[in-house]
Amino acid sequence: MASTARAPARTKKRHPIEKLDAIALLKADHRQVEEWFSQFEKARSASKKQELAATICDALTVHTAIEEEIFYPAFFKATGDKDMHHEAIVEHAGAKRLIADIRTMAASDDYFDARVHVLSEMIKHHVKEEEQPGGMFAEARKSAMDLRALGERLKARKDDLQASAEAA
C-alpha cells in the first residue's frame, strides 16, 4: 500500500534582497518619494518642510545615481532603446538642477515651495514614463536583463551612497 504522507515542503529562507529585482527596488523608491512629496504638500511648519525637502533631495540623489550608473546602462545595452534612455537622462538632469536649488534654500525663502512642487511634478512624470505599459520597466522585463542580479547591484550601490551621505 502506497503511503499518502507528503514529504515536508522545502522552504528556503529568503533575504529581502533576494525578493527584490531591480524594478521592484526602483518602484519601492518611487513609492517612498511619492509619500514624502505628499507629506510635504500637507506640512504647515517651515521646519517640517525643510526636513522633508532634504529627505526627498537625498533620496532622489541616490536614486538617480543608481539608475544612471547601473540600471540605465544595462537597459540600453539590453534593448538598444536610445530614445528612451536619453529622455530618462535628460529628465534626471532637470531634476538635479532643481535639487541643487532646493538644497541651497530655506523653507522660508520665496519660491521654495514652488521649486519642491515643480520637482514633484517632474518626478511624477518621470515615474509614469518608467512604469507605464511600454515604458522603460516593461521593456526591461521583456529583455534579457538579469533583473535579480541588477537588483543586488542597485541595492549594494544604494547602501554605499546612503552610508557615504550619512557620514558626510
- C-alpha distances in angstroms, 118 versus 2, 11, 95? 69, 47, 9
- C-alpha distances in angstroms, 46 versus 53, 82, 102, 113? 10, 42, 14, 10
Q: In this predicted structure, what is the pLDDT of residue 19?
A: 63
Write the DSSP symbol of residue 109.
S
Beta strands, E only, the chain:
none
Segments making up each domain of the chain, as ranges = 18-167
Whether residue 32 contacts residue 39, with contact meaning beta carbons closer than 8 Å, is answered with: no
Q: In this predicted structure, what is the pLDDT of residue 29?
A: 97
Give how far the C-alpha of residue 135 lies from the chain's centroid of Cα atoms, to the nearest Å.
Answer: 15
Cα 88 from Cα 138, distance rounded (Å): 14
Prediction pTM value: 0.87
Nearest to 121 by CA among 25, 34, 31: 34
Q: Which three cell numbers stand for residue 41?
A: 504638500
Other CB atoms within 10 Å distance of the CB of residue 44 = 6
Q: Which three cell numbers stand for residue 105?
A: 534654500
Mapping DSSP to helix (H, G, I), strand (E, B) and coil, where does residue 168 land?
coil
The helix (run of H) or strand (run of E) holding residue 158 is helix 147-167
Per-residue pLDDT of the chain (168 residues; tens, 9 = 90+): 444 444 444 444 444 444 689 999 999 999 999 999 999 999 999 999 999 999 999 999 999 999 999 999 999 999 999 999 999 999 999 999 999 999 999 999 999 999 999 999 999 999 999 999 999 999 999 999 999 999 999 999 999 999 998 887
Whether residue 87 contacts residue 122, with contact meaning beta carbons closer than 8 Å, is answered with: no
